[in-house]
Amino acid sequence: MSSTHQHQTISIEHIIALYNLMTEHGNQTQANKLLDMYRKLKNRETIISFSGHFSAGKSSMINALIGKDILPKSPIPTSANIVKLSSGEGYARVFFRDQQPVEYKEPYHINEIQQFCKTKGTITGLEISTSEPLIPSGTFMMDTPGIDAVDDVDRFITESSLHVVDALFYVMDYNHVQSEVNLLFLQQIQEKNIPFYIIINQVDKHDENEISFTHYKKQIMHTLQQWELHPKQIFYTTLTQPNHMYNQFSHVQTALKNLSFSETETVTMTAITSIIEDHKQYLAEQFEQQFSAQSPLHDRSMEELQKNLKQIEDEQKHIEEKHEQIEHKLQSELNTTLRNAYIMPASLRDKAALFLEGEQTDFKIGLFRSKKKTEEEKDHRLQNFLKELNELVEANIQWKLREKYIGILSEYITGTQLQQDLQQLEVVVTKEMLLQQINRGATFNGSYVLHYTTTVAEKIKSMFKEKSITLFANVQNELEKRSETNMQMLAHDYQLAKQALSDKSLYEKMKSIYQIQLDSIAKQLATPLVTEVMKHEMDKRISETEHIQYHSQTDIPFEDTSERSVQKKESSVTVKSATKTNVRTYEMLPILKKPSRS
């Protein structure tokens, strides 16, 4: 909390001015809290909250302090909603989630009211005002939902009306004082600067044979010190054994009686300054959210952005040129290598002639022209021709193309599958291919041998061209893929740069508005500017929230079919005839006497 206005006296006018300011800023959550504070100060209300661990006896403790069973005491989560108790007019006011509140005048069915305390989801709160003077005028005792888990703590801190609480009494079970849920709750209450008292109930469970009461209290104090918790007072109570030697119920009554209005007034001021700090945090979060994902180029100048765009254009041009260069170089090396490749020397043509001679229909060999020997000779001639031809192809074309292709590719692309593909470039001449090139109707002579070898050589070069074209296409695809990625990255950077300029302009504008908002809070705290219209609107809002529908007892719809049958209605009794419980053994003390104001 800011120390600037921590000790500043805040008036009704401050609240009205700040309410309008927060409404203008769009923070209706904190504005509504100020509306609650306005009502509280205007009506001079004192609100004492009772909270506690589930089944610690919180509701029974309130009943005992009041002197009448207004709240249920069964060991189930009876206070599913916040219940405010007061004295004055005799009524029960029910606040629904989705409709206007309804008021029922006394006499009403206390059992039905108790069932409302157990109902979840349908109502948001309940106010019970007894016609008997059990609670001083202007004082409200607030029973809150039982706290049973860390989630309950978070929900209560978030959803409850802690900002209007002047003091909080936290009721614990004797055996669960040191639970994390209790300590975590009190830690958060302390952080909100709400004075709190600890009531350790059911002290009749204490067994001196197990642990001395002195040692037990030392353990409690040690735990509180470890958590740095500083309650106003700690009480040990029991409601079942009024005369128990460690019972301090009367001390709780005295503490309530001694609460002065000046103390609660200080708490009210603290709550208002806390609301102001929460609103500042809201404004800061609103401001930060708009720029949480800002471009990393936010602070770059226009000159830098233009230079960046030029670099993008140059890179695009370079990519296009690179495509043309590599395609031209690869194609040039292919043509040069194939043109200069000499794969049909005279010695190989001689082997080709022998092979072709063996493929003539009248070719026979041997004294008796054995068919087997003839076939063996034909195959021998074929293999001799085929073997030397493949060796020459590998040496004069294949290895040269591999070497040249890899050299060119390394200038542009490294570490890709393409390099491995180029190293595997291969054309293997097969027997079938050689046989397919033979013209069976041609006359076997020197001219035909020359024509045949030329045809085979061209076929081989054609096969290298086909495989090379496929590789070239793969190279281009890889380049385009890489280029596309680069272009997308460059385009992304371009958009970031462009957006950065817009963001920067908006950032400076919103920063100025944010500072104006903070300054307006300081100005209203220094000199609140309040008009009659603003006061009227504030009172109108309160009237709207307090608009009550009045119902008679015959209209009362208090039913809970999930927990009790319709027939049990007949067992209900009125407040005026309600039976008092064992708390009647206590002498009731007046509580929360407020000094009169001149």
Are 73 and 167 in contact by the 8 Å Cβ rule? The answer is: no
Q: What is the DSSP string of 273-336?
A: HHHHHHHHHHHHHHHHHTTTT--TTTT--HHHHHHHHHHHHHHHHHHHHHHHHHHHHHHHHHHH
Question: 509 lies in a domain?
Answer: no
Residues 222 and 340 placed together within one structural domain of the fold:
no
How many domains in the chain?
2
d(CA 479, CA 350): 46
The 3-state DSSP class for residue 248 equals: coil
Q: Which of 207, 144, 208 is nearest to 171 (CA)?
A: 144
Residues 340 and 216 placed together within one structural domain of the fold:
no
Would you give per-residue pLDDT tens digits along the chain (598 residues)?
A: 444 444 567 788 899 999 999 999 999 989 999 998 888 888 888 889 998 887 788 888 999 998 888 876 554 344 456 788 888 888 888 777 677 777 888 887 766 666 665 654 566 778 888 888 888 888 889 888 777 776 776 666 655 678 888 899 999 999 888 888 889 889 988 988 889 999 999 999 999 999 999 999 999 999 999 999 999 999 999 999 999 999 999 999 999 888 765 566 667 778 888 899 999 999 998 888 876 655 454 555 556 766 776 777 777 777 777 778 888 888 899 999 999 998 999 999 999 999 999 888 888 886 666 788 888 899 999 999 999 999 999 999 999 998 898 888 888 777 677 777 778 888 999 999 999 999 988 888 999 999 999 999 999 999 999 988 888 888 888 777 777 777 777 777 777 666 666 666 677 788 889 899 999 999 988 899 999 999 998 888 888 776 666 555 444 444 443 343 333 333 333 333 333 333 333 333 343 433 343 3
Question: 162 lies in a domain?
Answer: yes
d(CA 227, CA 223): 6
SS (H, E, C) 404-463: HHHHHHHCCCCCCHHHHHHHCCCCCCCHHHHHHCCCCCCCCCHHHHHHHHHHHHHHHHHH
Phi first, then psi, for residue 228 (nearest 5°) are 55, 45
| Greatest Cα pair distance in the chain | 151
Q: Please, what's the b/e burial string for 44-83 (b: 16 or more CB within 10 A of its CB; e: otherwise)?
A: ebbbbbbbbbbbbbbbbbbbbbbbbbbbbbeeebbbbbbb
Residues 227 and 307 placed together within one structural domain of the fold:
no
- The tokens for 347 are 């010695």
Residues 243 and 310 placed together within one structural domain of the fold:
no
d(CA 493, CA 155): 44
Residues 64 and 175 placed together within one structural domain of the fold:
yes
Question: 277 lies in a domain?
Answer: no
Q: 533 Cβ partners below 8 Å, 6+ apart?
A: none
Question: 453 lies in a domain?
Answer: yes
Q: What is the DSSP string of 19-58?
A: HHHHHHTT-HHHHHHHHHHHHHHHTT-EEEEEEEBTTSSH
Question: 475 lies in a domain?
Answer: yes
Question: 524 lies in a domain?
Answer: no
Q: Which of 195, 183, 200 is nearest to 235 (CA)?
A: 200
Residues 251 and 134 placed together within one structural domain of the fold:
yes
Residues 577 and 466 placed together within one structural domain of the fold:
no
d(CA 382, CA 376): 10
Residues 491 and 549 placed together within one structural domain of the fold:
no
Distances (CA, A) of 78 to 122, 199, 229, 557: 14, 19, 28, 19
Are 72 and 191 in contact by the 8 Å Cβ rule? The answer is: no
Residues 253 and 319 placed together within one structural domain of the fold:
no
Picking from 481, 503, 525, the residue at the C-terminal end of a domain is 503
Residues 383 and 446 placed together within one structural domain of the fold:
yes
Question: 572 lies in a domain?
Answer: yes
d(CA 55, CA 43): 33
pTM reported for the whole predicted model: 0.58
Structural domain range at position 327: 302-503
Picking from 503, 519, 553, the residue at the C-terminal end of a domain is 503
d(CA 52, CA 172): 6
Q: What is the layout of strands, in order, in the sheet containing 46-52?
A: 234-236, 196-201, 167-173, 46-52, 139-143, 82-87, 123-130, 91-96, 102-105, 549-551
d(CA 559, CA 563): 9
Question: 264 lies in a domain?
Answer: no
Strand partners, 140: 47
Picking from 503, 534, 553, the residue at the C-terminal end of a domain is 503
Residues 254 and 308 placed together within one structural domain of the fold:
no
Residue 243 carries which side chain, given as an amino acid letter? N
Residues 78 and 202 placed together within one structural domain of the fold:
yes
Residue 17 carries which side chain, given as an amino acid letter? A
d(CA 120, CA 155): 14
Q: 71 Cβ partners below 8 Å, 6+ apart?
A: 59, 60, 62, 63, 78, 79, 83, 85, 114, 117, 143
The 3-state DSSP class for residue 472 equals: helix
The CATH code of the domain that includes 118 is 3.40.50.300
